[in-house]
Amino acid sequence: MRVLVAEGGGMRTIFGAGVLDAFEQEGFDGFDLYIGVSAGANILSSFVTGQASRNLMVMANSAIDTSYMSTRRFLMGGDYIDIDALWKMNERVNKLDVGKGLRNLSENNSKFWIMATDVDSGIATTIEPEIDDWGRCLQASGALPFFVKNPIELRGQRFLDGGVVAPIPIQQAIEAGASEIIVLRSRPSDYRKRAGFEQKFIAALLSKYPALAKLIPRRTDTYNKSIELIHSPPKGVIIHEIAPETALKSSRTCTDTNSILSDHLSGFKAGQDFLVNGQCEKLPTHRPA
């Protein structure tokens, strides 16, 4: 089974968007399973629907029009990021063809999993989007704790950012039966997350969701263990890692379109290198020891 995995990271996923543009341009597809978390699920959505180039337009538009972010609303007890407004804004710019996406998945006998965190159980949940709730699934996966104060209600459950439990869903891909995984990173291959005060602060704010609050301090270990798994996969699994050579110019909430365009181009070139060379020093392939 061949699986395509996309890490989240807000605007940093523009690198992965560039990779997907290269893949779509060359007709490289045919994955059995796609797994995306947070913004990674967004860029995979456009790829699954055959609209990979949509990602650059959507992310550039989000950088130019920041009306969905409001410090005033946040200080008054609301969300800093209105993810529903963000979704509707970008749908007006370039609508996601969910009908085509579902047809593509059906015709190729493939699946698309969007990762989200169930706030009541603290369990990483795989959601398969349907025609009438695809956007809501993406919102559930990308609702960052602290920036979004209220969980997203979907199919009788309440969700927040999938990256809390599955920041890079490699384990989920392996458990699904993957023999070959291509993982799109938004950080350099040697990046490791470090614990900070903000984790304790966010955990305190989420005290009304005990199961979720317990997970926040573990995010660093969860993230770093995912990277260890990428670099040392189990027997029978090959993992191709496509990651930036150095830290991207774009931050999670970048509003500089020049940085976004530059990082997209870097991703596009990395995607081309992977397709031409199969693998190279800059794009390592990890095999079982």
Which of 89, 70, 94, 80 lies closest to 17 in space, CA to CA?
94
As a whole number, the mean pLDDT across the chain is: 92
d(CA 138, CA 119): 16
- Per-residue pLDDT for 93 more than 60? yes
Torsion angle in degrees (nearest 10) through CA of 162, 165, 167, 168? -110
d(CA 2, CA 33): 7
How long is the chain?
Answer: 289
Span 49-69, average pLDDT: 95
Q: Which residue has the higher pLDDT, 75 or 224?
A: 224
* pTM for this prediction: 0.93
- Provide the pLDDT for residue 283: 61
- Provide the pLDDT for residue 95: 96
- Provide the pLDDT for residue 201: 65
Span 155-174, average pLDDT: 93
- Provide the pLDDT for residue 90: 93
d(CA 155, CA 144): 19
Residue 280 confidence class, pLDDT cut points 50, 70, 90:
very low
Residue 60 confidence class, pLDDT cut points 50, 70, 90:
very high
Backbone angles phi, psi at 173, to 5 degrees: -65, -40
- Provide the pLDDT for residue 281: 47
Span 7-21, average pLDDT: 97
Which of 51, 1, 42 lies closest to 23 in space, CA to CA?
51
Span 253-267, average pLDDT: 97
Express each pLDDT in 187-243 by its tens digit: 999 999 987 666 666 776 677 788 888 887 788 899 999 999 999 999 999 999 999
d(CA 79, CA 126): 25
- Per-residue pLDDT for 102 more than 90? yes
Span 132-148, average pLDDT: 93
- Per-residue pLDDT for 279 more than 60? no
